[in-house]
Structure formats: structure tokens, C-alpha cells
Amino acid sequence: MSKPEPESPDTRPAPLTTRWWWSAGVMTVIGVAVVAYQWQPIVTSTAVWGNYAVAVLGAGVALYGAWQLWRDWRSERARQRTEDGSSD
């Protein structure tokens, strides 16, 4: 049985955490998950003030993450245009 040849450093894909969208995307998903976790007690009127506080914090994290994602997307788009030498 032969061993597969190791990939050269040039062809190996970049780690996921180095992608431009990683940090903001994770922040957005976590914020949405926090709000979703608090949703059931809020809509069934069994919530205490802590559920509302956590939901508001989660919404804030999700909105901040979405804003960062939009900002990073614009930066990445501008970087790609510069590399390509094109303009819209």
C-alpha cells in the first residue's frame, strides 16, 4: 500500500479561519443562535427579564457581526478589483 504524496504548500487550501468572512460570519451565527434559543420562552410568555436581556445581547452580536460581514465583503470586493485591474 503506497502512501499518498503530501500536498505542496502552494496547492494546499488556506485554513478556514483565514478567510475574510470567518470572524464576522461566526459572530452573526452565534448571535442568531442565542436569540433563537431565547425565542421559545419569550413567545410563550414564560420568560423572565434575563431571557429578554440575553436575547437583546444576542441580537446586538448578530447585528454587529452582520455589519462587520458587510464591511469586510466591501473591502474584499475592492481588493479583488484592485488585483484584477478592473473597475465598475
Q: Is the pTM of this model over 0.85?
A: no
- Residue 11: C-alpha distances to residues 2, 7, 14 (Å): 21, 6, 9
pLDDT in tens, 41-87: 999 999 999 999 999 999 999 999 999 999 999 999 998 898 887 65
Instruction: Give rounded-to-5 percent helix, strand, coil for the chain.
Output: 70, 0, 30
